[in-house]
């Protein structure tokens, strides 16, 4: 079957860490099946350096990643969206942005690694935890034949992925390490 590529928008508040990680992961792991974007309701204005360091260490492309407002995806000429994923966590009682439209929605909450204080080692560990949780969820989504599912069936899977949370074991095909 010839399927068109799905457009996925990953939203959070600051668009500097979690949504950036998810955008890079979707694009790297999607095998051409998806094209991901990210945005925030109140963007930080720059990508968190720990996010860029982690993506570089994992061999993921960081070219073009930037912190941006979600308004870009409501403007004329913006790509039509198939799926919007929010990644806001509950630890800081974050309010996830709401994006109107006729597309599928998923909430895959992940605690904000950019909110972690402490040593660089502690901050890197928080980013790695968020990266692993997002990678697990994204790989689970990509393992589905989502292009062939009806909306109700796919929405059920999206909700299950969100409820499952991060598993202790991550796909053996990915490496989650930092090189100093």
Catalytic residue among 52, 88, 130, 132: 88
Q: Which of 56, 73, 90 is nearest to 8 (CA)?
A: 73
Active site residue 97: no
Catalytic residue among 57, 96, 115, 139: 96
Q: Which of 20, 12, 9, 5 is nearest to 73 (CA)?
A: 9
Q: Which of 176, 146, 147 is nearest to 21 (CA)?
A: 176
Catalytic residue among 11, 12, 52, 130: 12
Q: Which of 57, 18, 58, 22 is nearest to 138 (CA)?
A: 22
Residue with tokens 């968020």: 130
Return the half-sphere exposure (C-beta side, CA atoms, 13 A cut-off) of residue 147: 13
Active site residue 88: yes
Give dist(CA 101, CA 82) in Å, integer: 10
Return the half-sphere exposure (C-beta side, CA atoms, 13 A cut-off) of residue 13: 15
* Pairing relationship of beta strands 104-107 and 83-86 according to DSSP bridges: parallel
Catalytic residue annotation: 12, 88, 96
């Amino acid at each position: 079957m010839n399927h068109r590529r799905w457009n996925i928008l990953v939203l959070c508040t600051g668009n500097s860490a979690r949504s950036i990680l998810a955008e890079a992961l979707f694009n790297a792991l999607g095998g051409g099946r998806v094209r991901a974007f990210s945005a925030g309701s109140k963007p930080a204005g720059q990508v968190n350096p720990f996010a860029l360091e982690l993506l570089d260490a994992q061999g993921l492309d960081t070219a073009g990643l930037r912190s941006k407002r979600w308004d870009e995806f409501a403007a004329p000429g913006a790509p039509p969206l198939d799926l919007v994923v929010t990644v806001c966590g509950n630890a800081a009682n974050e309010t996830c942005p709401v994006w109107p439209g006729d597309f599928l929605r998923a909430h895959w909450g992940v605690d904000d690694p950019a909110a972690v204080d402490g040593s660089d080692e502690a901050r890197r560990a928080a980013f790695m935890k968020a990266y692993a949780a997002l990678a697990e969820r994204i790989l689970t989504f990509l393992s589905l034949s989502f292009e062939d599912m009806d909306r109700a069936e796919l929405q059920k899977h999206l909700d299950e992925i969100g409820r499952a949370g991060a598993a202790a074991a991550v796909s053996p095909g990915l490496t989650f390490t930092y090189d100093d």
